[in-house]
Amino acid sequence: MLMATARHGGGGGWGGGPASPAADGDCDGDEAFARALQREEEQARLMALAGVVPGGDGGEGGDDGADPDADATAGMSYEQLTALGDAVGAVGRGASDAARAGVSVAAYGGREGDPCIVCQHDLLPGAPAATLPCGHAYHGPCIDGWLARSKACPLCGVEVE
């Protein structure tokens, strides 16, 4: 997508020959050219992060029912995905407050030594434990923090809402 084209002068620089005084006077032009390339590369990178297709009309065609977000992020590195997340902002994927409030809390009636999958500490029989609709039990604060970030049970993946 880069619009600028590389210039190779007859003198020094990229050609490998000795630099001539005329080539030294062209350093300002080369620097401006390099900066223009950097701006174009940065713009192309940001457009790719935003999922904008250069030259696309953004309209018709190509709608095969697939998730457009999956295509936009396919093949992106961790750094690119992190930059995209910083640019777009956080997207809440946790359970609603109503769903979190609806989790039942009762005395844990399971075996001694069963761990809370979130914190890996044991659930103690008779101690308060939060039980999700799927039947898995956790420490109340542990599962509340988990459900603030995810709608699904950390053990089986069943959604709370």
**CA gap 133, 159 in Å, rounded:** 9
Same domain, 109 and 144: yes
Whether 140 and 121 share a structural domain: yes
- Domain containing 119 — which CATH number? 3.30.40.10
Helix 78-88 × helix 27-50 angle, to 10°: 80
> Which of the two residues, 17 and 48, has the higher pLDDT score?
48
Q: Do 39 and 82 lie in a common domain?
A: yes
In this structure, the answer to whether residues 71 and 106 fall within a common structural domain is no
Are 114 and 136 contained in the same domain? Answer: yes
14, pLDDT greater than 60: no
Residue 22 lies in a domain: yes
Say yes or no: 48 and 103 in one domain.
Answer: no
Q: In what order do the strands lie in the sheet with 104-107?
A: 104-107, 128-131, 137-138
Q: What is the mean pLDDT of the chain?
A: 75
Q: Answer yes or no: are the C-beta atoms of 128 and 108 closer than 8 Å.
A: yes
Tell me: do 133 and 111 sit in the same domain.
yes
Q: Is residue 48 part of a domain?
A: yes
User: What is the number of domains present in the chain?
Assistant: 2
Mark whether 137 and 105 lie in a shared domain. yes
121 and 140: one domain?
Answer: yes
pLDDT at residue 49, rounded to an integer:
75
Q: What is the pLDDT of residues 43-94, one digit of tens each?
A: 888 777 777 665 544 444 444 455 555 567 778 888 888 888 777 766 667 8
- Taking the C-alpha atoms of residue 145 and residue 117, their distance in angstroms, rounded to an integer, is 13
